[in-house]
Chain A
Amino acid sequence: MKQCIACGMPMKSVEDFAMGDLEKEYCKYCCRPDGTMQSYEEKLNSLTNFIVKTQGIDEKTANSAAKSMMAKLPAWKTE
């Protein structure tokens, strides 16, 4: 199954894709209002906040975890 290249979320149905476009490689959560994919900084911020909101974890730790997860994803892998 297709996974978002920016956050790893599985994209099962059309609504999961950015702008509902099946051709896109990223999901609706990683999509800017204008349809482009969020930048690394934007995504890192967003993911860090997500971790803090869902678990109440310390922000530095959340940031570390987010960085580490993003490093594995196609959109952010440094060759």
Chain B
Amino acid sequence: MTKEISKNIISIKSLSNKSTKGDKVLLETKRQKQKKLTRKHLIEVAIVQFGENGIIATRTADIATVANVSHGTVFAHFPTQEELLISVIEEFGNRISQRLHELINTNSSLFEVLEAHITGLIEFEPFYTRLIIERRLLPESVCNTYIMIQSTISFHISIAAEKEIEQGNIRKIPIHLIYNTWIGLIHYYITNGDLFSHNGSVLKQYRNELLEHYANIISK
């Protein structure tokens, strides 16, 4: 990292003889960029580590080791375990929202939205599994972020559901129950993944069965 910066200093200086405020600003932007990259890298590593070893069991020191940075670096970006955890969950929330935005639009059927939801979850399955298993033991700030994420997903589902209710395709059920029934089903399979799947993604294995079953029970 230092090599890159010094290379840049040399190339900047060679462009002009004056060492001006402009050079300093350029250097700061590169440093900011590096900081952003490191932060992103740490979050990526944390997602994997949390997924593999559990959230509570993972120390910031473990993340530093796997990310190949000093513990001080982790500390500089995330002064507490809690702040790291919040950042990770927010990243998860952003990515799954993005996924939904990419895969669905205002004309999507309920089935398509639910499909998109499972697709998004599969990408984070190990982490999400640990999150929902350990959630009651995690700080309140985590709970609040979690609530917002679930409401966002529920909202997407509700847009499609309300249309289908209007069209008479599915039963008239309150939005929160449409959501809680779906998430209840999904979470049961996830939290008991060891019973349903011996080798990894329980959502991948049961995806079609769950989608079809759910569609079946809420259809008129």
Do A53 and B176 touch (CB < 8 A)? yes
Q: Which residues of B contact A65 (CB under 8 A)?
A: 143-144, 147-148
A57 touches B147 (CB 8 A): yes
State the main secondary structure of chain B at its contact with A: helix
Q: What CA separation (Å) do A77 and B141 show in the bound complex?
A: 16
| B131 CB, min distance to chain A CBs, angstroms | 16
Q: Which residues of B sit under 8 angstroms from A53, Cβ to Cβ?
A: 175-176
For A68, list chain B residues within 8 Å (CB). Answer: 141, 144-145
Residue B59 is within 8 A (CB to CB) of chain A in the complex: no
Nearest CB in chain B: distance from A49 CB, A? 11
B151 within 8 A of A: yes
**Is the C-beta of B92 less than 8 angstroms from some C-beta in chain A?**
no
CB-based contact B148/A54 at 8 Å: no
B residues touching A (Cβ–Cβ < 8 Å)?
A: 97, 101, 141, 143-145, 147-148, 150-151, 154-155, 158, 174-177, 179-180
User: Residues of A with Cβ closer than 8 Å to B?
Assistant: 10, 12, 50-57, 61-62, 64-65, 68-69
